[in-house]
Every structure is written in C-alpha cells, then in structure tokens.
Amino acid sequence: MFWFLLITMVVVVAAVTLAVVGGGDSEVLPEVAPEQLVDPLPVARPVDRADVEALRLPVAARGYRMADVDDVLVRLGAEIAERDARIAELEEALAGAAGGPDREGDQQ
C-alpha cells in the first residue's frame, strides 16, 4: 500500500510539474490585450438618459478599469454642472420677467 501511494504521488507531482512548465513552446493561454473604453458618449450634443443607459464600461481583472470610470464620471459631472447653471440662469430670467419692474403700459 505504501508503494502504491508513493508512486501515485510521484505521478501527480510529475503531471503538475509538466503542466506548470508547459512542456513546449506554445503558451497555455495566450496574452489578450486589455479591453479599452471606446467612448460611446456623443461629442456633438449633450448626453441624454439613453446614452447613459447604453454605456457599458470594459471589465478588468479585478472589476472595472478605474481610469475609464473616472473619465466617464468627470464628463457626466461637467455636463450636469453645465445644465444646472443653465437651469439657474433660465429660472433667474423667468423670475425677473415675472416679478420685474412694471411695464410702461401698466403704469396708467
């Protein structure tokens, strides 16, 4: 029984060693180029909800590629800030028009 276990261990160690070393010139798994973000967000117009819903970020070995996520978040943050500023500007103009000085025709 001892000799059987010893021979089995030697065969297993030899098989694992051959698998690790590779036994040849070909690689077991060839190197794959990492996925890169192809920015699908439109450049010529503002980003809308459908653009954000269609956005798919490439996955890396340990999750999403941090740089790609940061780039998208910076872009979305800038567009949201721009829209907020425009909304504030329009609300101010609307408030000025509604509660502004009396018009010349109304002073009679």
Beta strands in 21-92 (DSSP E): 59-60, 63-64
pLDDT in tens, 15-71: 888 777 765 556 555 665 666 666 677 888 888 888 888 888 777 777 888 888 888
Whether the Cβ atoms of residue 41 and residue 51 lie closer than 8 Å to each other: yes
- Residue from 10, 9, 58 nearest 34 by CA: 58
H or E, element range at 87: helix 66-99
The pTM (predicted TM-score) of the whole model is 0.49
Cα of 45 vs its chain's centroid, Å: 20
